[in-house]
Structure 1
Amino acid sequence: MKQMIVHCEPKLTQMALLEEGKLVEFAAERSQNHGLVGSFYKGRVVNVLPGMQAAFVDIGHKKNAFLYVDDVLHPNLEKQPKEKPPIETLLRVGQEIVVQVMKEPLGSKGPRVTTHYSLPGRWVVFMPNADYVAVSKKVSKDQERSRLKMLGEEIRQKGEGVIMRTVSEEEHPDAIFGDLALLREQWAAIQKRAEAAAAPALLHRDLSIVQRFIRDVFDPQHDQLQIDNAKEAKEAEAFLEEIAHGSHLPVNVYQGQEHIFKAFGIQEQIERDFSRKVILESGGSIIWDQTEALTVVDVNTGKYTGGESLEDTVTRINLQAAEEIARLIRLRDAGGIIIVDFIDMEQEKHRQEVVDRLEAGMSKDRTKSHVVGWTKLGLLELTRKKVRDDTAMLQAKPCDHCDGTGRISLLGIH
């Protein structure tokens, strides 16, 4: 059973996802800084850069959005030209264009946008211009994959693209078709607004964090949703009824005196799991350091000394660390390049066991990731798609003295 625990403040919403009582995802969103990913804008091209094969688009925010040439070409790879055309033949300065945000502004970079439009629903992802059907890789049964593929071909119209989501497995065709019909209506409304609006203009805002999690991971029949705000609970209940096609599914309103995160044991887990040093159950430890582009994780034996031999001891710690690191990557929403310095192992079979354990843990993650493999220095390299800024950053601000470096400077005049 999963539990969604939501804490609401006037300017901040925080959401924790528990699986069997263990914290696996955490998200925070400020009311004045609603996430951009998934939102549609009518923008104006302000600069075309042939040397970068990219353009900058004004969508009405402080920083112009970045549009790469690949995101201007047809979304179906089979329909793209063999040789990539120059960006200046596709876009011109002053041109108005509908774009969708695919990556939040991070650091000094503005948002990244695309013309490969997609609208996710409960059961399917609708891509108005993609012209293909795909089935989630997490649907493992060949017979079910074939059924969903055929169903997708039946319900899509000419030129449309559809991705059958993991949750569509064993789902009735009527529910899937109803989901697609709603997404078509959304797309029609976006097009209508685009025709009437002057650039730059917001055409469609993506869902709130609570609605996204309800849509993507919440099972109304088995999971539990607790919100400590009656108004937000009512809105969540209405959204649940909408995606469940009219079924009444009550949301629990938390009314306890204690903070909701303390009542469900979340605060303690947040303090532990977002620390630089995380202690494993065995006594080993994980050290977590993060920069804008790179995350480095170091595994140490700590107090753990049990095991039949040094190799056995090291392997046990690494396996436990691999499982925990997979959870923490998902929880912290780490992205980009991730390097893990496991404790050195002599036997190749043990190294493979560690990789297998890490991949098994990361298979539960909805964000795309890839374990690249071991480097020549014995480090494990992996990548994970970076879409949104770290929610953990909403929990803290850079130190006034060290400016976020973790050091107090002793340089200068004293």
Structure 2
Amino acid sequence: MTLRTIALDHLNGAEAAALLVGGRLEDLLIDSDQPRPGAIYRAIADRPVKGQGGMFLRTPDGSAFLRQIKGLAPDQPLLVQVTGYAELGKALPVTSTILFKSRYAIVTPDAPGLNISRSIKDEDLRDSLLEIAHAEMGQSAMGLILRSSCDTAEASDIAEDIRAMCELAEAVLADATGSEPETLTEGDGPHTLAWRDWVAPADVMTTPGSFATSGVLDQIGALSDPQVPLPGGGSYYIEPTRALVAVDVNTGGDASLAAGLKANIAVARDLPRQLRLRGLGGQITLDLAPMPKKDRRTFESVLRATFRQDATETALVGWTPLGHFELQRKRDRLPLTDLFK
């Protein structure tokens, strides 16, 4: 039995996947009725937004907003891919840089060239992977990235993955023109995403009710509490508002001189996981426990190292005049509270 467990189940009728490490919930994916990140549309340019360098587009799922629109004219069709979830009352965020991503391969129509993940260090393996890439891509003008998961994969599985992504890319690109908006791909659901991205060895549970038997349901229930306990008796609160996500750190009964730094470092190590599980993004403001200014660099180093391991793009903005620390996190998930309304 491995340390990692992947549970594939359903919550309230929606497809869901959970990743546990040592019994602790590390990641959670739940489907919704909103457009999935990764979905590809043939969209129609609608109207530019002056001063923002963007344009609203028409899609089958409503209005979308695209930045960097040089050369794009109203009523022009174009391919776009959903990059995240829209805030309430706002347009879908999309990009014109399309990626076709699977477990081992990413096909990049707009970026030619064959590339291998830098985390694969073995030169013999890199040479073997390049041979597979050249054999499958042939004279294609599209680009290819072989992911780090190729490190332990069978050559036949990698080749099959490349072929599948190339075929999908060619089919989508062939349908790029037209006068009406159309959904060309739906994006991957939680079970497919789990197969695609949770590639480390794990025990996989697929029987109905696996969330209950693995303890996932109990841990999801705990996420409804804004308070998160910390070692040593401290805690922190994660409270989303319309404008931002507020994080308040408390040292509890620890009155030692290093109490503030210890609590803040504990939060830095746990915060990415909590934001991931709760589906929170956007502007995040940390009201940290009191600590000397000389310790700020230590806190930042721990926070940066932890977020570097997180898949969601997060910018560490820095300190405010009031001593708060600010983050900006991509909204690539829906808030857990919205999914259970």
- Specify if TM > 0.5: yes
The corresponding residue for 2:65 is 66
Of residues 144, 168, 187 in structure 2, which corresponds to 1:206? 187
Shift of 1:46: 2.3
1:223 matched to 2:202: yes
**Deviations, residues 114-165 of structure 1 (Å, cap 9, x unaligned):** 221111011222111223555557x285969976996798565564233332
Q: 1:65 to 1:145 in 2, by over 3 A?
A: farther
- In the other structure, the counterpart of 1:48 is 48
Structure 1 match to 2:302: 357
Whether the 8 Å CA contact 1:144–1:170 is kept in 2: the answer is no
Higher alpha-carbon Rg: 1
Which residue is 1:366 aligned to? 311
Aligned partner of 1:231 in structure 2 is none
Q: Is the 8 A contact 1:25 1:332 kept in 2?
A: no
1:288-327 paired onto structure 2 within 5 Å: 288-305=238-255, 310-327=256-273
CA drift of 1:261 comes to 3.3
What code does the residue aligned with 2:28 have? F
The question of 1:280 aligning with 2:234 is answered: no
Q: Is the 8 A contact 2:45 2:58 kept in 1?
A: yes
2:91 is equivalent to residue 110 of structure 1: yes
Asked if 1:124 is matched to 2:123, the reply is no
Q: Which residue of 1 aligns with 2:24?
A: 22
**For the structure 1 residues 9 and 287, does the alpha-carbon distance in structure 2 shift closer, same or farther, using more than 3 Å as the test?**
closer
Going from structure 1 to structure 2, the CA distance change for 1:283 and 1:119 (only over 3 Å counts) comes to: same
Paired residues of 1:134 and 1:149 also in contact (CA < 8 A) = no
Q: Equivalent residue of 2:233, what SS?
A: coil
Higher strand share: 2
CA contact (8 A) 1:323 1:361 kept: yes
Shift of 1:284: 0.5
- Residue-by-residue CA offset, 1:240-277 (whole Å, 9 max, x unaligned): xxxxxxxxxxxxx24xxxx5434322233223234211
Q: What do residues 283-318 of structure 1 show as CA deviations (whole Å, max 9, x unaligned)? A: 10101122345222111012334xxxx332222222
| Separation of aligned partners in 2, 1:376 and 1:152 | 54
State whether residues 120 and 126 of structure 2, in contact with CA within 8 Å, keep that contact through their aligned partners in structure 1: no
Letter in 1 for 2:202: D
Give the Cα–Cα distance (whole angstroms) in 1 for the partners of residues 325 and 75 of structure 2: 46
1:281–1:273 CA distance, 2 compared to 1 (3 A): farther
Query: Equivalents in 1 of 2:290, 2:192: separation in Å?
Result: 43
What is the one-letter code of the residue matched to 1:94? Answer: D
Contact preservation (8 Å) 1:133, 1:152:
no
Q: Aligned pair 1:181/2:163, yes or no?
A: yes
Structure 2 distance, partners of 1:319, 1:293, is: 25
Change (3 A) 1:34 1:225: farther
Tell me: CA distance 1:154–1:6, structure 2 relative to 1, closer, same or farther (3 Å).
Answer: closer
What value does the CA root-mean-square deviation take over the aligned residues?
A: 3.0
* Distance change (3 Å), C-alpha of 1:140 and 1:336: farther
Contact 2:46–2:74 at 8 Å: present in 1 too? yes
Deviates further, 380-389 or 203-212? 380-389
Contact 1:38 1:101 in 2 (8 A): yes
Quick one: distance in 2 between partners of 1:274 and 1:132?
Answer: 46
Higher relative contact order (CA closer than 8 Å, sequence separation 6+):
2
Question: Retained in 2: the 8 A contact 1:340–1:381?
Answer: yes
Q: Distance in 1 between matches of 2:124 and 2:296?
A: 34
TM-score, normalised relative to structure 1: 0.71
Q: Decide whether the 8 Å contact of 1:14 with 1:27 is kept in 2.
A: yes
**Distance (Å, rounded) in 1 between the aligned partners of 2:329 and 2:124:** 28
Structure 1, residues 66-122: CA drift from partner, whole Å, max 9, x if none? 1222xx5xxxxxxxxxxxxxx4xx222222222222232221112122221111011
Q: 8 Å contact 1:124–1:162 — kept in the other structure?
A: yes
The one-letter amino acid of 1:27's match is L
CA contact (8 A) 1:27 1:391 kept: no
1:190 is matched with which residue: 172, 186, 191? 172
Secondary structure, aligned partner of 1:36: coil
2:334 counterpart residue number: 389
Task: Decide whether aligned partners of structure 1 residues 49 and 124 sit closer, same or farther in structure 2, where only a CA change above 3 A counts.
Answer: same
Paired with 2:144 and 2:211, the residues of 1 have a C-alpha distance of 38
Contact 2:56 2:65 in 1 (8 A): yes
Q: Secondary structure at the match of 2:52?
A: coil
Give how far 1:17 is off. Answer: 1.6
Paired residue type of 1:223 = A
